[in-house]
Structure 1
Amino acid sequence: MMNQPDNNKNFLCVFIDQLWGLHGEVIVIFPVTVLTIITNSINNNRFIWLDYASITLLVSYLLYVIIDTMKIVYITIYNVSSGYSICLGKKSNYFKDSVRKQRNVLKRNKVDLFLIEKEFKIIDIDWQYYDEPIRETKSWQDSVENISDHFFRYAKRIPIETKLHLFTIAQPAVLIGVGYAIGKERDWVVYHYCDSTSSYVMAPNLKGTQSRSSVKKIKFNEKIINEYGDITVILSFTSASRIPFPDITNNKVEVFPKGRNKYIEIEDMSQISYEINEVLTRYTMEGRTIHLFPGLPCTLAFILGKLLHENSNIIIYNPNDTEPVWERVIDIQNLDI
């Protein structure tokens, strides 16, 4: 494995180094073999068709080796992309079928996962986090920490500049924590799973805020009674928000889409996540503890977690899987990451 060069002027040096390291024997044998064929033909005073065929095959193989090495240099040093998959609470057959779809998506987006796995000595369990049982509420914080540990072990195997294609199947509360734990300082390409088409759709690029629209995508109702007390923030973007919310605080804010329904266009997800984060940041900057009830799509939950400020005092709740109640599952400040 090689370090990424400082600039493109080093490409030739890197290419030669890789070519010699991967195919040094070919470089040595090729000229010797060609010269031997030519010498024998000259000594016999004639070229036969077999000589031409042999030289043609040798030149073709050399060209293949050169092109293949250039591809390796580009994909594994200059433009590294790989995948990362998170799946919680699903049966193994569902997970395996999802991974097959994810591999196809990566292939369509020019991510040569086979080459990445070969070059960086990665296997499936390195880039796939899977936990079949639906964990008890009290251990969801552990799930976030386990995913964080798993990801950073994987991240040590690949260059820091790697563009990571992320697929998520998990509870929104967990994914907010995961986004907070692993989302920062990385180049992510996040995919949203569309149930209607049973396919993955790429969300807009997450880098920077320069592409943000001036047209707001959210609105919120605010009921502030205590100026400095804890505050309940309800994110009403999915059907989960129909479950009754507990009266934890006197201060309440409900955030919801600006449109008439809760359906969110994939191209609006990054914009919406920035706007939600602005609301949360305003309250955390006031020194408030936020009790967060996230009725969010998985993709939006991860993006939001990625944007949360360090040491945000946010407690996250999630609907119980067996009865219609919300339970406290994650405390952002207490994550051991």
Structure 2
Amino acid sequence: MERVKVLIVDDSQTMRAVVKAVLRADPQIDVVGEAADPYEARDAIKALNPDVLTLDIEMPRMSGLEFLEKIMKLRPMPVVMVSSLTQKGAKDSIEALSMGAFECVGKPTGGDTVKALSHLPGIVRAAAKYRPQGMTDHTPTVDPSLASFKPNKKIIAIGSSTGGVEALLKLLSGFPENCPPTIITQHMPPAFLKSFAERLNNTVAPKVATATEGAPLRVGQIYIAPGGAYHMQITGRVSPVCKLIEGDPVSGHRPSVDVMFKSVETILGGRAIAMLLTGMGRDGAKGLLGIRNAKGYTIAQDEASSTVYGMARVAKELGGVDIELPLTKITAKVMSLCDINTTSKMRHSA
């Protein structure tokens, strides 16, 4: 098996050494070079032809975001961004993910820096299989046919991980302003999740916010699990609200899609429309099966349109998927299931 060739781009010699030490410990990865800024990186890419780039966001002469934009326009390749967990760093990370970066990892701040980046080799190996399509336009494009959309009593639950930022931007850009109540668990650090919710709120037609304890599920409102020490659930069969619970990681994650889906299965049953999108691992697969068994409708993003076909693949193997669709066709399917006009026509024609 050929090793994954990686180029490390960071203006900090210390950080480059840490990233190199972490990656070189993996026998499947070959660190072929380093660069201190995007200009050095440009020459190194031509000379070394790496499979994956790790790219610092904050650098002199040209920012990581500017360089990422050039890469995605001129030579799309898998890029893993390395960012600080400050408010600005989180905002820039979300921008990078929306531009096509494979993943963003937070820079360690003290302590055992090598241990803090122990997950990086797995991300790099997965990134090597990713084929980015370049820059994507996320301008909201709500289908004109949804002008008469009237939500029924369905509630939408979505789980996503690696590749989820770009997938959710595309998916939710087609949601109408009066979309069904929607809850989302996306695997990311809490600072990133807050910035992501703000980005979505400024981009898509419905209102988007990180969930708070007791927040009511309402038409036209999308909630994202805040992460950190909390998982997100829902409670209240008549008038569902968000519930935040402290706990250990479940299925390897906090927030966990499985935790959210389990509450959706229990509280909503057949009122649920659940989706599992792109992402590594298996979080959400068991939960999606539970929702399907409870008569909810389940959708998985297909392999061709996924950044990483992991969670959805496991759900399909378990028998938890009613239908598998490319990302571009999911919104139309979901809205047809949630539109009182469509469902009433189906009842009359039955």
Fold shared, TM-score > 0.5 on shorter chain: no
Specify the structure having the higher radius of gyration (Cα). Answer: 1
With normalisation by structure 1, the TM-score equals 0.32
With normalisation by structure 2, the TM-score equals 0.32
